Amino acid sequence: MKRIKQQMDFLHEIDKVKDVFRESLTLNKRRENDAEHSWHMAMVALTLKEYFIGEVNLERSLKMILLHDLIEIYAGDTPAFGAERPNKREDETEAARKLFSILPEDQEMEFLELWLEFEDCQTDDAKYANVCDRYQGFMQNLTSHGHTWKKFEAPMDRVLERVDILRTCVPELFNSYVLPELERYRARGIIK
């Protein structure tokens, strides 16, 4: 009974992720929440896997996608092009430990290890999950006419740095679609 109670407590706690709002806008011009972001990333993962240059265990990548922003329930969201947050990794690691400690020990360790793997971005599974994260953010800018690029006056070098994992891990997608779109937005003055 203790195990079930811990799992139920965790599932109730993570419902709060629906109230963590990002700077990205939906098609209806409202702020996207973290739950919507993670769902959309999962759909990106299912749709674009063929472009990834490595081998991917899709189940592991999807787990990372679903877990990666839950910690923002406690740590808050950090906009991609916003101000630097000096203790971000420490704050988020503390939040991950706190959140996942609600679970039974085996799940606590599994979820924490998957979250850390996503953050470290060294394995193919983590790289693919990060590709989906960066692509989803890029796509949200396209559907909102460059909202966060405009809001934070993002220069091209920062935008390119943010999507560099797309260049290295999904080069066909980057060269045929992402880069031409970025150039269009730069030509329009939306990306500085």
List pLDDT tens digits, range 50-94.
Answer: 999 999 999 999 999 999 999 999 999 988 888 888 899 999 999
* Residue 135 pLDDT grade (very low, low, confident, very high; cuts 50, 70, 90): very high
The predicted structure's pLDDT at residue 144: 96
Structural domain that includes position 27: 2-187
Two tokens, residue 83 = 């101000």
Domain total of the chain = 1
Answer yes or no: is 69 within a domain.
yes
Answer yes or no: is 86 within a domain.
yes
pLDDT tens digits for range 92-130: 999 999 999 999 999 999 999 999 999 999 999 999 999
Answer yes or no: is 109 within a domain.
yes
Tell me the whole-structure pTM to 2 decimals.
0.95
Distances (CA, A) of 127 to 31, 33, 49, 62, 80: 26, 23, 12, 12, 17
Answer yes or no: is 192 within a domain.
no
Q: Domain containing 23 — which CATH number?
A: 1.10.3210.10
The H or E element spanning position 32 is strand 31-33
Answer yes or no: is 110 within a domain.
yes
Answer yes or no: is 125 within a domain.
yes
Directed axis angle between helix 88-100 and helix 105-120, to 10°? 160
Answer yes or no: is 171 within a domain.
yes
Distances (CA, A) of 56 to 25, 66, 78, 175: 30, 16, 27, 21
Q: Minimal CA–CA distance to 159: which of 148, 169, 170, 145?
A: 148
DSSP codes, 104-149? -HHHHHHHHHHHHHHHHT-SHHHHHHHHHHHHHHHHHHHHTTSHHH
